[in-house]
Structure formats: structure tokens, C-alpha cells
Amino acid sequence: ATAVATAAGILGHAPRRVSVPFFWSDQFGWRIQALGYAGPGLCVTAEGDASAFVARYTDPRGALRAAVVARRADALPELRRELADGEMALAG
């Protein structure tokens, strides 16, 4: 995706901004935040414990397609970048 943005800059084209779907909800004292598109065929892995976690949804190639975060807002910026880069690679 960085190569796509670099090439666009060299050619004088404005880089495409990719919007990553996002929503959040507060449930029973938990802030739950979700990014991307979760769907069938994705593999789910989780990091953390019962008090805070990040669940990553990856496609068969290992590319991140969605994430659910509970009490781990610090993980959101990097997840957003990874999702946007993946979407740009698919579109480019």
C-alpha cells in the first residue's frame, strides 16, 4: 500500500483515502470497539485475557480484515493502519 501511495505521488495523483468501518458500544462497563468487515471464512485469533483483549480476523492469506477490541483502545491506531493498507492493496 505504501508503494501505491508513492506511485500515486510520483504521478501527481492524490492518494486514495480508505475509510475503515468502525463502531463502538459500552456494555456493562466495557468499551467494545470493532473495525473492518468480519465475514465467513476468516480466522479469528485473540490476544489478552478476560479483562482486556484484541480479536483479529484474518483472511486465508493472513491479511487483517477486521478486529474487535475490548478495553484496548491503545491498539486501535495500528489496527486502523493495517486495515487501511490492506484495503488499498486490494483496490490497487
Closest listed residue to residue 66, CA positions, set 53, 85, 83: 83
Residue 89 or residue 39, greater confidence: 39
pLDDT of residue 75: 96
pTM of the model: 0.74
Dihedral in degrees, nearest 10, Cα atoms 3, 7, 10, 16: -100
Contact at 8 Å (CB) between 87 and 4?
Answer: no
Question: Could you report the per-residue pLDDT of 6-22, keeping only the tens digit for each?
Answer: 777 788 776 666 678 89
Average pLDDT over residues 62-75: 95
pLDDT of residue 17: 61
Closest listed residue to residue 59, CA positions, set 37, 81, 76, 78: 37
